[in-house]
Amino acid sequence: MPDVRGHFLPELVCSDDLAGRVAVVVDVLRATTTIVAALAAGARAVVPCLTIDEARRVASALPPGTALLGGERGGLAIEGFDLGNSPAEYTSQAVTGKTIVLTTTNGTKALVRCRGASQVVLAAFVNFSGVCEYLLRIERPTLIDIVCAGTDSHQTQEDVLLAGALAGRLADAAGWQLDDGAAMARAAWSAVSRGDDDELPSRVIATLRDSRGGRNLIAIGMDRDIETAAEIDRFNIVPRFDPSTGAVTI
């Protein structure tokens, strides 16, 4: 059995099949990037919710003044919410000490889908090396599933690219065996990362801009978030989702 499996959509994952495994959830544009940014900025926790109504219920049940509502539908901020899904909004001034109750079109669904895993880790380009180091410390023979959020049930290049970078690092550094999905993702990353290292950031940005998620953000005037999401290793934190509490913390 391969050590690392790659799933291009959460619909391809059965929660029960993740028992005893580590799930790595990827939603580069933008949920996992935003959650990393929020926690790095001092948020106490992020609580992912599937629906807008659920998010409002969860936030209202928390002590007054401790919660912020965040999220999007169709990429745009939700009416009446405190924050959208842009990592730029999650500054220390806005979120320090707060619990973010978050609902997004794709990323929060992927998180909830993976709640059957023994651990659920959140990955983005902005915390890439931190996640790799964390995974490489996991005692074998624990197996890893990299789960891409996709967009509206379609696989997306930006998530597959990061999945490939993660799979490649695990294979190269520790000889982890990849399944076909992880190997295909690794090949996609190799095509982008091959060449002058100094030009890698610009190649990643260009690839993200040309992806399904990138094109969607450009269409609604949020293309600055693409550059933010492409900032490899901006943070050195590893958020983890605890299904028993329903919260993401570091």
Closest alpha carbon to 131 in 162, 175, 155: 162
| pLDDT at site 196 | 81
Per the domain annotation, does 109 fall within a domain? yes
DSSP 3-state assignment of 89?
helix
Per the domain annotation, does 248 fall within a domain? no
CATH code at position 10: 3.90.1560.10
| pLDDT at site 118 | 93
What whole-number distance in Å separates Cα of residue 152 and Cα of residue 109?
A: 11
Per the domain annotation, does 250 fall within a domain? no
Per the domain annotation, does 249 fall within a domain? no
Per the domain annotation, does 84 fall within a domain? yes
Closest alpha carbon to 112 in 213, 23, 35: 23
* φ, ψ of residue 242 in degrees (nearest 5): -105, 105
| pLDDT at site 1 | 67
Q: What is the pTM of this model?
A: 0.96
Evaluate the CA torsion angle 211, 214, 220, 221 in order and state its sign.
negative
User: What's the structural domain count of the chain?
Assistant: 1
Per the domain annotation, does 9 fall within a domain? yes
| pLDDT at site 241 | 97
| pLDDT at site 141 | 75
Per the domain annotation, does 119 fall within a domain? yes
Residue where the block lists tokens 């065996």:
177
Torsion of CA 22, 27, 30, 36, to 10 degrees: 20
| pLDDT at site 27 | 97
* φ, ψ of residue 205 in degrees (nearest 5): -60, -45
Mean pLDDT, each 10-residue run in order, the chain (250 residues): 91 87 97 98 98 98 97 95 97 98 95 94 98 92 92 94 97 93 97 87 94 94 96 97 95
What whole-number distance in Å separates Cα of residue 101 and Cα of residue 78?
A: 12
DSSP 3-state assignment of 14?
coil
DSSP 3-state assignment of 64?
coil
The domain in which residue 221 lies consists of: 4-243
| pLDDT at site 2 | 80
| pLDDT at site 72 | 97
